[in-house]
Amino acid sequence: MSVSQTMETEEDLLTCLQIKFYHPQQNSKGLYELLPLGNRSRHYADDPLRLGRDAKSCTFALNDMRVSRKQLALYAYRTPQNPDMLFTIQNLSQRGRLSVNSSALSYLERMDLPNKALIRFGEYEMLIIREAGEAKGSFEVKFEVLTVPPSRETCMCVPSMTPVMDTGSSGTNCFPAELTALGPLETDETLMFQS
């Protein structure tokens, strides 16, 4: 086997984090101009991947003054029970909260990242999808920009504060079928999600 064939095989086996961004004003501002959109970039697993507005202290930067200097960090790890490379996410912002699939993280709090996660901070929505690989020492990241909020596609809409009518219909189609099939909620006018 030639060296080029070996290298291609190793590249195919890397875990890849697909990070898909959405911001309501992304068309009018150059928010993502500092990101390598559409290209896969390789990172060592023992170095945290930081995202924020400060290009010097972060691996990747957003061109937005409302984003914290250091907004969040992703850490790769492995466990003895699981051969896959897994990730945790940590909120590095002292000013704002970060949510992972509707679970809020305060400053320096961290949690395990599921295979598919909706991350929110400020007006940003990030959909992170982990594609498993076999490589142990490094992983890849690929950035994309979405034209619609990923919360619409993943049914992770923030519940509105509008009352539920007698029919049990809330007027939006972003609630999972299990919740809408329950019928009207008599005790309260808001739906509570538990993750």
Counting residues of the chain whose pLDDT is more than 70, the rounded percentage is 72
Amino acid 65: pLDDT: 93
Lowest mean pLDDT among 38-52, 118-132, 179-193: 179-193
Q: Are the C-beta atoms of residues 52 and 61 closer than 8 Å to each other?
A: yes
Mean pLDDT of the chain: 80
Question: Which run of H or E residues covers position 16?
Answer: strand 15-22
| pLDDT, average across residues 91-107 | 94
Name the pLDDT band for 96 (thresholds 50, 70, 90). Answer: confident
Amino acid 163: pLDDT: 43
pLDDT at 156 over 70: no
Amino acid 183: pLDDT: 42
Amino acid 154: pLDDT: 58
| DSSP output for 44-86 | ETTS-EEEES-TTTSSEE-S-TTS-SS-EEEEEEEETTEEEEE
What 3-state DSSP class applies to 42?
strand
